């Protein structure tokens, strides 16, 4: 689990913060820590990750557990996200008017390319997967819906970062670009240069930058300015050449343009 240093802890960790706002922010931060970690977490883990006093953590964890936002293991000493988190996440998707249109496009892309297709949205410096259609030839059906990855490490993220100005990028991106694989682009100058290429050709590509053994191509859906959503296809490295990857990138650009037109005609912004 990624730990926070004292300097990274939010201002609401200060006891001088107002009680109601402090409790709410602390509860939100706890949920975000759980969301970022797949393992069961103990009280000590949460204290290390947040710096919150153990006495406060006891009350917050109990409240979140009683409300169904987190659950405990058989010992009652370790915690993870509960079913309420899924219910609220699903409600977000159910109420997003763009998702049904995107789902139709993903179905078509999967049939035309034979690869897994995704629809994602930029959220801060991350991309969040809103809809996925797994390749029919895949041996395992694992939905990425609801998962988030650093934008700089994915084709989806890079095509959306390319929508932003240099000043906006400087404000948005973290000081340190983390590496998900040995191929992840972490040099800021190199990233800016690649984003320039993405702007010119209208789609982004990456090979093993987000996941080992996987190549991706992505195109932004320009129904908003700047675009916040994008389509992508993920492909096994051993089944696609760079030339094929670029061909799929062009197909994605066309599909994204068509999807944006449908969304605008439907009055969705």
Gap between the Cα atoms of 191 and 153, Å rounded: 10
Cα 268 to chain center, whole Å?
A: 22
The whole model's pTM is what? Answer: 0.83
> Given this model, what pLDDT does residue 19 score?
52
CATH of domain 96-265: 3.30.450.40
pLDDT digits (tens, 9 = 90+) for 94-118: 999 999 999 999 999 999 999 999 9
Q: What are phi and psi of 236, to 5 degrees?
A: -65, 135
The pLDDT tens digits for 187-219 are: 999 999 999 999 999 999 999 999 999 999 999
* pLDDT the model gives residue 12: 45
Domains 6-86 and 96-265 share a fold: no
Residues 210 and 200: their CA atoms lie apart, in Å, by 23
The top-level CATH class assigned to 6-86 is mainly alpha
Which residues have C-beta within 8 Å of that of residue 162, sequence separation ≥ 6?
195, 196, 198, 199, 204, 220
For the chain, domain boundaries: 6-86, 96-265
Q: Can you tell me whether residue 261 is helix, strand or coil?
A: helix
């Amino acid at each position: 689990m990624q730990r926070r240093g004292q300097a990274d802890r939010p201002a609401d960790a200060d006891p001088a913060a107002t009680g109601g706002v402090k409790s709410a922010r602390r509860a939100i931060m706890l949920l975000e820590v759980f969301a970022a970690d797949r393992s069961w977490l103990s009280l000590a883990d949460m204290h290390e990750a947040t710096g919150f006093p153990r006495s406060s953590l006891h009350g917050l964890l109990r409240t979140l557990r009683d409300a169904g936002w987190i659950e405990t293991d058989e010992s009652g000493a370790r915690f993870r996200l509960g079913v309420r988190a899924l219910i609220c996440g699903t409600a977000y998707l159910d109420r997003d008017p763009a998702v049904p249109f995107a789902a139709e496009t993903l179905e078509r892309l999967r049939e035309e390319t034979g690869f897994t297709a995704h629809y994602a949205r930029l959220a801060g410096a991350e991309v969040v997967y809103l809809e996925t259609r797994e390749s029919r030839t895949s041996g395992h059906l694992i939905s990425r819906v609801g998962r988030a990855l650093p934008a700089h490490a994915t084709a989806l993220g890079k095509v959306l970062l390319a929508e932003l100005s240099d000043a906006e990028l400087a404000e948005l991106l973290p000081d340190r670009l983390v590496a998900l694989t040995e191929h992840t682009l972490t040099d800021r100058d190199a990233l800016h240069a690649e984003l320039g290429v993405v702007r010119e050709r209208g789609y982004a590509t990456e090979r093993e930058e987000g996941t080992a053994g996987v190549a991706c191509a992505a195109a932004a859906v320009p129904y908003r300015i700047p675009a916040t959503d994008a389509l992508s296809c993920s492909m096994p490295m051993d089944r696609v050449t760079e030339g094929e990857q670029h061909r799929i990138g062009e197909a994605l650009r066309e599909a994204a343009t068509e999807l944006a037109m449908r969304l605008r005609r439907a009055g969705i912004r």
